[in-house]
Structure 1
Amino acid sequence: MKSTIASAFIGLSLLFANATQAASLAPQWELTGFSQPESVYVSPEHEWIYVSNVNGNEPGFISKLSKNGDIEELKWVDGLGMPTGMGMFKNSLYVVDGTQVHIIDVESGKITKSLQANDAVMLNDLTVSDKGQVFVGDIASGKIYTQVENELVVWMEDKKIPHPNGLLAQGNTLFVANLARKLAQQFEPEEYGSIYKINIADKSLKMVNSSYRLGGLDGLTELNNSLVVSHFPAGEIYQITDKERTLLGTLDISTADISVDDSTDTLFVPFLLKNKVASYKIIND
């Protein structure tokens, strides 16, 4: 299980639909020395950037970076299993790790609680709403979990989202980027993933039209009331609205779970197979 994410999609051959390119990505800084960095978390409200490192068959860890591109502490939190997606609420960082979620106090760097999803197969990404509700996707089983007291329970399952990868809560809506119709090394065009929006109150589901069969979808974040999604391992980064999709840029192989600081229009990208993290300014042409 330790190298599942690093190896499962290396052979993907993706063919992407045409899109406009009215924006671009300008490199700012790049850092190396990570070990299979899978996810980056950043927000305008918090000082630091956090990076989850799968780290092969060794214990996984979380790195702490400055927004200027300095490594504050490479192994800020160590001894984890296979950490992947992250989210934050107040002063707590939520980190997915296999079939559980750790809650870390950002002041002390200590795990205060761990939530278990007893029937989960492979949890991957996580998001926390502005009300503090936690959502976690099981990329293998297609289930989406939420926190009830001290455990994770199934919140929703829909056949339209068989492999939920990226998750993003915005107000009363949960956006979910589906990887594809199946987990495989080769996808046919009709099997490519799309983005769906779910009404949190009644769980009604609708596809974001401009994302229809966009590709093997991974990281999902927001930028000025739009969505930004990455394609692992092709390196495509798209900005999505209800009406159109814009190709922001094509990066190196293995772009994984991205994050955006929309106060500065800055994109942060972990390169899972390159052991590096990079920062890009999003420039509207």
Structure 2
Amino acid sequence: MFFQTHDGTRLAYEDHGQGEVVVLAASAMLSADMWEYQIPFLVRNGYRCVALDRRGHGRSDRPSGGYDLDTCADDLAALIEHLDLRDVTLAGHSMGGAETVRYLARHGADRVRRAALISATVPCLLRRDDNPQGLPPEAAEASLAALDDDRPGWLARQAQAFFATHLGNAVSPAMIEHTVRMCLATSPWAVRECQRSVLAADLRPDLATLALPLLVVHGAADMSAPVHLTGRRIAELVPHADYREYPTAGHGLYYSHRAELNAELLAFLKG
């Protein structure tokens, strides 16, 4: 299914099941297909799942602009308004988590009951004067340069760390290959622009506005969104958040720790 955003971009989404609505926002580079192991589980448990392909991703249009967090959050709002969804649970992985937080800051929580941030790139990744533990800007630029130089090679090098297979997580070579293929299917322009948007973001002021129930799930071995800059910081800045940290999980815990994550999501929805 498709709808048009305010700037005329045609975005794809999936809509499965009936009941209370969960809107799923995917990671940068990944499409709605990443939720393959969450959507059937939630539908079987009586929930309706709506999953968006971000612009430049999956089946959506691939425009040259609109990959900043404000526009991506507005795209999420446009989907929710298009379907006239109410009492929504927003669940975002990685950049999808950043979009979730920015959506709530820009559009409020009138249509949203609760939110879940999964391996989210929130609140602030880069080193700043008031964020001395952040990633050095030169290291971030080096990673972006490596991505620009050889995107398939960059993805291949990141794949094992993405799932933290070195810690014994059972992830097949086929699943790793499938994930890399999904990333390679994304617009190269969108990949680079999304990476830059995530690195430039400072969502600390946005987090300060959150008053709704919040679940935060993060892996201690996450190399893409280091936990001391993201999950643990969210828990500090939003004291009422329900924070869950998985000792052996990397960034791809939506698959490697799918049973635990699904149980956390279901308990959060029922709570």
Provide the TM-score with structure 2 as the length reference: 0.29
Structure in which a larger fraction of residues adopt strand: 1
Structure in which a larger fraction of residues adopt helix: 2
